[in-house]
Structure 1
Amino acid sequence: MLKWRLIIEAENDAYYNMAVDEAIMKIHSQGDTPPTLRFYGWQPAALSLGYFQQAKKEVDFEKCQQEGIDLVRRLTGGRAILHDRELTYSIIIREDYNLLADSIEKSYQQISSGLVAGLNQLGIAAELKAVERGKKAPRGHSAACFDAPSWYEVILNKKKLIGSAQRRKENTILQHGSLPLDDSSEKIFELLNYNSAEMRKKSRCIFKAKSTNLKRSGSKVDKEELIKALSSGLAEKFNINLEKASLTESEIELARELAKNKYQNQNWNFKR
């Protein structure tokens, strides 16, 4: 049975969170650490942009500053997410382990199946919903992630519950995703640019109709329970043994360097 690390961290700022995911990815790609499942939170709240998003066009940076919300660009694609009261997961594994499919679509399905299994253990009736084969994933109506369907969504009560994004680099896969605990993520529409108040209102309504969170669904579980269940579901799905561990000194050193010189740098965050 393959051994993975399970890393559970407290809340960190956006720059360090994104730097840690990249640091783990880089060092794991060199063969110095095992595959890793990581859980973490965000403090203060932060708006993360997908790698290809146009920050100046899509984000009201002054509003973010007024609200005390950090802005960071992710290494992964996808759309904007407001990270506040949520549980975030990341999975990092080299492609030569041959555990995840070569197809991004199929690997989304594999990971989402494990997440669904974990939620089901808690009595949360989450399901896996696939975009119809042969068709492109439908376009969303705004810059917000939870308005944009991915290939295989984790849904609850027919609404999107977990938003995920993936990047493959140096023969290594990084996938991370956001599980909102309450309605705080809906504040994102105050932070994005729109051509009119009507478009902002429309996007907010679509978002609310198509997405959900644990509080709205009536699920009362804390983060510790969630982490335990999601870890169990993924371990069962991939037939792996999760061993609780901490970041290595090399990972911490690299993460601090990346946080300072990359993720806090406006040249990175406003590169598009």
Structure 2
Amino acid sequence: MAIDEAISIAHSEGAVAPTVRFYGWNPASLSIGYFQHAEKEVDFRALREHGLGFVRRSTGGRAVLHDQELTYSIVVSEGYPGMPANLAEACAELSRGLLIGVQRLGLDTTMTGQIDETEEQSGSERVSERKPLTAACFDAPSKYELLVDGRKIAGSAQMRGNGVIMQHGSILLELDDEKLFSVLRFGGPDIKQRMRKLFGRKAASINDCLRRREMPPVSVQRLEQVFRDSFAEGLNVEFMDGQLTEGELELAAKLSREKYGADNWNYLR
């Protein structure tokens, strides 16, 4: 999370080009959205028992278990040629690569049409989303997120600041809903069981959908290559391999110490 923000800041200062980044999580971690209440919604004892990390995102949305997945982030100026000024339209533009990638894997995909998990930031202003069904992401589709067989297969969130758009999201390779629901708090075991069943009807993973079609599962390395190509096509650009600059690394380390690794941020609510 610190690296995503560091890239965003560096791009706002003109120090780096627009950036697309793919990454994973070690250890596997639970991230919650900016607006979520950590103590009310997360079972930290269970989190420790599973050996999971924990962080609050700077973007909105709900809890995501970053485990067997590919995470992406896109950082680009609001004034980039062809980038819509409207929040929802910009989300659609940046999400086109997701749609192309899932289709290249052989899955029929549709894109949703209601907004609830993107977030716009202008200075210190944040726009909240509607009340979710559960604390978990993927239990309901948001605008311009992907559905396969009516189930959400990728989740994204967006924020804006200093003239820059930063959008990141999770592309699920496998889905361990048992582990996810074991680290979230509910009003009681009956409610948890009911919400987990609902979640199972609303969420899916890439490999789960492939297996249903008797197609071979894919690796995270294959997933990254497919989406690297599909994002380039969707954004109509040619990617160049790059490394984080010294300035980005220094800023990310500072943000990690002072923000994303600090209790006063992660337990903000």
Question: What is the CA-CA distance between 1:42 and the residue it aligns to?
Answer: 0.6
Show the counterpart of 2:64. Answer: 81
The structure 2 residue matched to 1:265, chosen from 238, 242, 262, is 262
Q: Which amino acid aligns with 1:162?
A: A
Q: Which protein has the bigger strand share?
A: 1
Distance 1:124 1:33 in 2: 35
Of all paired residues, the percent bearing the same amino acid is: 41
The structure 1 residue matched to 2:105, chosen from 107, 112, 122, is 122
**Gaps spanning 5+ residues in structure 2: where?**
116-128
Show the counterpart of 1:232. Answer: 229
The structure 1 residue matched to 2:208, chosen from 197, 202, 216, is 216
Show the counterpart of 2:95. Answer: 112
Show the counterpart of 1:6. Answer: none
Show the counterpart of 1:11. Answer: none
Distance 1:28 1:234 in 2: 19
Q: Deviations over 1:20-42 (max 9, x none)?
A: 00100110110110000000001
Show the counterpart of 1:196. Answer: 188
> Cα 1:99–1:76, aligned 2, differ >3 Å: closer, same or farther?
farther
Show the counterpart of 1:157. Answer: 149
Q: Which amino acid aligns with 1:226?
A: L
Q: Deviations over 1:138-188 (max 9, x none)?
A: 753201011132111211121100011111111111110101111225421
> TM-score scaled by structure 2?
0.88
Worse-superposed segment, 109-118 or 74-83: 109-118
Check the 8 A contact 1:55/1:269 in 2, yes or no.
yes
> Cα 1:267–1:138, aligned 2, differ >3 Å: closer, same or farther?
closer
Q: Deviations over 1:94-146 (max 9, x none)?
A: 112144322221122222222111222232323222239xxxx8753201011
Q: Is the partner of 1:116 in helix, strand or coil?
A: helix
Show the counterpart of 1:9. Answer: none
Q: Is the partner of 2:238 in helix, strand or coil?
A: strand
Worse-superposed segment, 24-33 or 231-240: 231-240
**Gaps spanning 5+ residues in structure 1: where?**
1-17
Q: Which amino acid aligns with 1:238?
A: L
Q: Which amino acid aligns with 2:107?
A: I
Q: Are 1:103 and 2:86 counterparts?
A: yes
Show the counterpart of 1:21. Answer: 4
Check the 8 A contact 1:109/1:152 in 2, yes or no.
yes
Q: Which amino acid aligns with 1:193?
A: R
Q: CA RMSD in A?
A: 1.8
Question: What is the CA-CA distance between 1:88 and the residue it aligns to?
Answer: 0.3
Q: Are 1:147 and 2:139 counterparts?
A: yes
Show the counterpart of 2:174. Answer: 182
Q: Is the partner of 1:28 in helix, strand or coil?
A: helix
Aligned length: 252
Show the counterpart of 2:244. Answer: 247
Check the 8 A contact 1:139/1:148 in 2, yes or no.
no
Q: Which amino acid aligns with 1:268?
A: W
Check the 8 A contact 1:87/1:179 in 2, yes or no.
yes
Check the 8 A contact 1:140/1:149 in 2, yes or no.
no
Q: Deviations over 1:223-269 (max 9, x none)?
A: 22222221222222221111111111111111111112211101000
Greater relative CO, 1 or 2 (CA 8 Å, sep 6+): 1
Q: Deviations over 1:25-61 (max 9, x none)?
A: 1101101100000000011111101011111111111
Check the 8 A contact 1:46/1:83 in 2, yes or no.
yes
> TM-score scaled by structure 1?
0.88
